[in-house]
Amino acid sequence: MPRLPVNRAGRTGIPVDDWLFALTQEEKGAVRLSCVNHHASKAGLAAGMSLTDARAIAPALVTLPAEPRKDAAFLSALQRWAEKFSPWTACDGADGLILNITGCAHLFGGEEAMLALIRQELADFSIDAMAGIADTKGAARAAARFGGTGRTIIAPGEARAALAPYPVEAMVADDKTLFDLKRLGLTSIGDLYGLKSAELARRVGFGFVRGFEKLFGSAADPVIAQTARPTYSARMSFPDPIGLIDDVEEALRRLTAQICKRLVEHDDGARAFELTFQRTDKTGTILSIGLARPSQTPDLVIRQFAQKITRVDAGLGIDVMRLRATVTEPFRPVQQSFAGPQKQSELEELIATLGNRLGFDRVLRWEPVSSHLPRRSFRLVSAAGKARSVSFEPPASLRPLTMVGPDLVEITAPGRPPKGFVWRGEGFQTASAKGPERIGHEWWLGTQGDAIRDYWSVQTCQGPRLWLSTRPDLKPSIWEVAGVFP
């Protein structure tokens, strides 16, 4: 499908066939054409051309930025569509599909009829397509991409003769290998027939020889079917419009039960759901929720939607409700029979409830960071996000629960640490102290601004246990409170 990105853009409503049109993408600091339509091709434009040169040739050229992710998703959808013709389908590069139709062609009236049907259905989707059929995957790919007629069928056993006039680009995509072949004067596949494999391997590489063997079936090259991740959605249409909250809750309960049953069957869990209401006047409302961890529990999902559905305007009535799990991932069960996991489950539900009401970007938690500097040994992350695996080795001495300051203290009785000091307007006397613990800067990260400091754990006569620090290189010493122990 040589113009797949342009065809996809056209399906969104952009009139791509009404003018000179191309999609662009930045490559190595330059903006280049990534895909062009028929009119642009006739004007001499081609993919890979810089946008500046293209404008010089065709000033009327209309361009839009390419969207590779949407193109990949569209190709994946077409791969699932192709499963109606064969159970063994896969994507071929960024713009192709490959099917193993062994034992399938007779169901559609033979290979020619099957090929015509596939191309016709793609044309109905407004997709330009070229197709080929051959004994091997490599030969079929070459026939589709370089056959020229758009529907090339290579009869069994005739691949060598049929592919002889094809350029070497039909079996090689690597620029270096192509350069080496053309430097040797090998421009077509037929030029390779009289050469020994050992000579080709020495000059071009064993990988090329292996690909040459796959082209004609001397080496295995099966079609590895791509299985798309299952989608989880459920829809309910009502014979009469509903508007009572009890009816909405019952419909939600049934939809959630269906989706969670499928999640259990596929060992998946959902982290986010989307509930769509379609009213009789064809307007709609969408509600979204998130969860702190993947879940298969219907009651948890219903509780998160409970507060939101009370604010839905039913209008003249709701015709359709649709629930969809928008974010899924493999489910890892948690043991619920002990107090610890049970409390963890309750905490995750609390995080989900707060996140759905306040926004998940406002519900944060602490995460350890592999750093021996007290102020860099933690950070705030989203409480609903995945926990990172951090190589964290706890320090030899205890750290304060609360980090403060650094707050300067006023020394009333000198010492190391000071025997008496005033902090935040309150006087303290040292009862006992433990230290010093010397912590230097992380020189391997280039953090030269952090000076070496000595830290003391000070138990005061007034009760609070403080973490005092000072720089050993300063005279007279300046003391600060760095933290408070519980």
pLDDT tens digits, one per residue of 228-245: 677 899 999 999 999 899
Whether residue 366 has pLDDT greater than 70: yes
Residue 100, SS3?
A: coil
Whether residue 142 has pLDDT greater than 90: yes
Omega within 30 of 0 (cis) for the link into 333: no
pLDDT tens digits, one per residue of 435-467: 888 887 766 666 555 678 888 899 999 999 998
Whether residue 388 has pLDDT greater than 70: no
Question: Around 323, how many Cα atoms within 13 Å sit in the side-chain half-sphere?
Answer: 25
Cβ atoms of residues 131 and 115 within 8 Å: yes
pLDDT band at 285 (very low <50, low <70, confident <90, very high): very high
pLDDT tens digits, one per residue of 163-198: 999 999 998 877 888 888 888 888 999 999 988 888
pLDDT at 369 (0 to 100):
74
How does the average pLDDT of the chain come out, rounded? 87
Percent of the chain with pLDDT strictly greater than 90: 49
Where exactly are the structural domains of the chain? 4-66, 75-215, 233-356, 402-484
Q: From edge to edge, which strands make up the β-sheet containing 284-295? A: 233-242, 318-330, 268-279, 284-295
Tell the CATH topology of 4-66: MutS, DNA mismatch repair protein, domain I (3.40.1170)
Inter-CA distances, 389 with 146, 370, 377, 392, Å: 49, 11, 14, 9
Place of tokens 């090329």: 208
Tell the CATH topology of 233-356: Dna Ligase; domain 1 (3.30.1490)
pLDDT tens digits, one per residue of 313-352: 888 899 999 999 998 988 876 655 555 555 667 777 788 8
pLDDT band at 476 (very low <50, low <70, confident <90, very high): confident
The whole-angstrom separation of Cα 145 and Cα 96 is 9
pLDDT at 358 (0 to 100):
79
Whether residue 125 has pLDDT greater than 90: yes
